[in-house]
Amino acid sequence: MAYPIVSAPYGLKPINLIGGQVFSGATRQMEMASGYATNIFYGDLVKRVAAGTIEKDTGTATATPCGVFLGVSFTNASTGQVQQQQFYPASQSIKSGTKIFAVVADDPDTLFQVAVVSATTAITGVGISAIGNNSTLVQNAGSTTTGNSAVAITATTAVTATLPIRIIDVVRDTETTADNFPEVIVKINFGMHQYNNATGV
């Protein structure tokens, strides 16, 4: 059976750990500020801030994430019920005395699958020569219908050490033409992940 066509970016999807270790779904709950005014979607990058909470990392050529957002839970101010959602809605009102907790894949060794774009959401691809190089994030808006991110990486790669994403491999099954792969396996680049950066927040 042919591999499904990659028609649009979908954020960063955790698949395993460096060295072939299994990704067992291990995550960390991280607090978000009440009323935080930006949508965060499943597959978006997030970062720690000085208050000890997390926010969406909107960086492109420079980013310092602590991991990837995989959902959220909060107590709705209107219903008093605990909600677990695929994405965090901007300025969500919560019940007084409660907190918002995001689910984050924060292991610096986590590998992610991600789509490659030429610009915004236009799917393109890279050749195997991109493996080992670094890339820039493309910060597309996610979907409030599916809750999924639309973040991708650009097909333009470089050796620049400060770029936030390292390409580890291509997804061979997605090859569209000779040496053109619209999906790749990546990790947050060393020194860019907040756990690998000696500078505090």
Instruction: List % helix, strand, coil for the chain (3-state, nearest 5).
Output: 5, 40, 55
CA atoms of 138 and 126, how far apart (whole Å): 15
CA atoms of 6 and 70, how far apart (whole Å): 21
CA atoms of 158 and 161, how far apart (whole Å): 9
List pLDDT tens digits, range 100-115: 999 999 999 999 999 9
List pLDDT tens digits, range 169-188: 999 999 999 999 999 999 99
List pLDDT tens digits, range 112-151: 999 999 999 999 999 999 999 999 999 999 999 999 999 9
List pLDDT tens digits, range 25-75: 899 999 999 999 999 999 999 999 999 999 999 999 999 999 999 999 999
Residue 4 clears pLDDT 90, i.e. is over it: no
Residue 1 clears pLDDT 70, i.e. is over it: no
Structure tokens at 12: 């960063």
